[in-house]
């Protein structure tokens, strides 16, 4: 009697070498999937190899501006996850080309090959937004659903975790600056969600346990203002800093200068995003389109921030437990 051995499913993760992508890759690898990581620089994706067994994770070069590289990345794949995104524009990396056209290109190749997919969008995605980022995210999600009607759309709030660009950036600023700015008074609401929880939702979509053609709002257990986020961060790194309100007009002036830098701390488009609360919608809560609705218990800031922000304390992990200047 011949022994039949089934081959694990192959999932292609576009942007798998980035902050969110690497956590998705690790979660998929733990489930036993074969993972193909489509990224622009596979030579810089060596950090992904230890996340799985030998040969389980395969980086491959792909650029969303070139359709043939997408076709190559999806050849033989059973599922696709797109988590490519940018926080600001630079060079050829434009919101429209990466988050709208790129998502559409992946979805069209998926449709041609009978592959379903998950698109990582954002709670702030809105076709009517003044923000180019938000409009391109909304356009990308709409294009994906049009091409792949059974696709899953995940819309996280601000994502935190070891390599995040939010808490890490402000904690680094707090090491040298006695003042932290609160744009518009720091009143904007967020619902910070742990990156591993987002990765778990994406993996469950690949498992086929999430309803297709549906958008899910992913938020953590707490709704916090920008000011409260800064206060939590300062408490963890045990530093005292003045939180100074920055009026919107002054913030726009500063952003117009800062956005000229290669890796700007703030842009005018980000200010437009900050003007709108970024929390899970009442409709998503009512319809169970949330982490809790998926049976995932979201991790809190209190539980996770100390695990990676300790390096910003004056004594590092050898903390005294007292707040310092």
Each domain of the chain, given as residue ranges in start order, spans: 10-158+193-219+279-298
Cα angle 218-198-119, degrees, rounded to a multiple of 5:
85
What is the reported pTM?
0.94
Beta bridge partners of 182: 245
User: Is there a contact between 191 and 219 (Cβ–Cβ < 8 Å)?
Assistant: yes
Residues of the chain with pLDDT under 50: none
pLDDT at 90: 85
| SS3 (DSSP) at 7 | coil
**Rg value, the chain, Cα:** 20
Cα angle 319-324-325, degrees, rounded to a multiple of 5:
145
Q: Which of 17, 8, 4, 3 is nearest to 53 (CA)?
A: 8
Fill in the DSSP letter of residue 149: T
pLDDT at 325: 63
pLDDT at 147: 98
Measured between alpha carbons, how far is 195 from 164 in angstroms, rounded to an integer? 9
Measured between alpha carbons, how far is 207 from 31 in angstroms, rounded to an integer? 9
Count the neighbouring beta carbons within 10 Å of the beta carbon of residue 178.
11
Q: Which of 184, 309, 315, 317 is nearest to 234 (CA)?
A: 309
Query: Quick one: the chain helix, strand, coil %, rounded to 5?
Result: 40, 20, 40
pLDDT in tens, 12-39: 999 999 999 999 999 999 999 999 999 9
Q: Give the pair of three-digit tokens for residue 226.
A: 């920008």
User: Is there a contact between 103 and 140 (Cβ–Cβ < 8 Å)?
Assistant: yes
pLDDT in tens, 58-92: 999 999 999 999 999 999 999 999 999 999 888 88
pLDDT at 92: 83
Q: Give the pair of three-digit tokens for residue 177.
A: 């600056």
Q: Give the pair of three-digit tokens for residue 266.
A: 């703030």
Question: Which CATH number is correct for 10-158+193-219+279-298, 2.30.110.10, 3.40.50.2300, 3.40.50.20, 3.40.50.720?
Answer: 3.40.50.720
pLDDT at 4: 53
Measured between alpha carbons, how far is 134 from 23 in angstroms, rounded to an integer? 23
- Taking each continuous run of H as one helix and of E as one strand, the counts in the chain are 13, 13
């Amino acid at each position: 009697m011949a022994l039949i051995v089934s081959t694990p499913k192959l999932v292609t993760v576009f942007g798998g070498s980035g902050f969110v992508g690497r956590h998705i890759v690790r979660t998929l690898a733990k489930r036993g999937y074969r993972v193909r990581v489509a990224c622009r620089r596979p030579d810089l994706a060596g950090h992904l190899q230890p996340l799985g067994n030998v040969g389980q994770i395969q980086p491959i070069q792909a650029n969303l501006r070139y359709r043939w590289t997408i076709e190559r990345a999806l050849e033989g794949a059973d599922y696709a996850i797109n988590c490519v995104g940018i926080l600001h524009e630079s060079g050829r990396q434009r919101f429209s080309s990466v988050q709208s056209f790129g998502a559409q290109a992946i979805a069209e190749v998926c449709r041609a090959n009978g592959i379903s997919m998950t698109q990582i969008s954002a709670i702030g995605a809105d076709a009517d937004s003044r923000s180019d980022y938000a409009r391109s995210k909304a356009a990308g999600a709409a294009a994906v659903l049009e091409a792949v009607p059974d696709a899953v759309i995940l819309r996280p709030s601000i994502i935190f975790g070891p390599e995040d660009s939010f808490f890490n950036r402000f904690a680094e600023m707090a090491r040298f600056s006695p003042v932290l700015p609160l744009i518009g008074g720091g009143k904007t609401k967020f619902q910070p969600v742990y990156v591993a929880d987002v990765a778990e939702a994406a993996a469950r979509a690949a498992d086929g346990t999430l309803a297709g053609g549906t958008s899910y709002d992913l938020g953590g257990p707490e709704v916090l203002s920008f000011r409260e986020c800064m206060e939590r961060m300062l408490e963890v790194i045990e530093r005292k800093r003045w939180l100074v309100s920055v009026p919107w007009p002054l913030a726009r002036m500063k952003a117009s200068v800062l956005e000229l830098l290669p890796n700007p701390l703030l842009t005018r488009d980000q200010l437009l995003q900050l003007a709108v609360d970024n929390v899970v919608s009442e409709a998503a809560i009512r319809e169970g389109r949330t982490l809790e609705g998926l049976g995932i218990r979201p991790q809190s800031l209190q539980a996770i921030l100390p695990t990676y922000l300790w390096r910003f304390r004056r004594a590092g992990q050898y903390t005294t437990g007292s707040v310092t200047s």
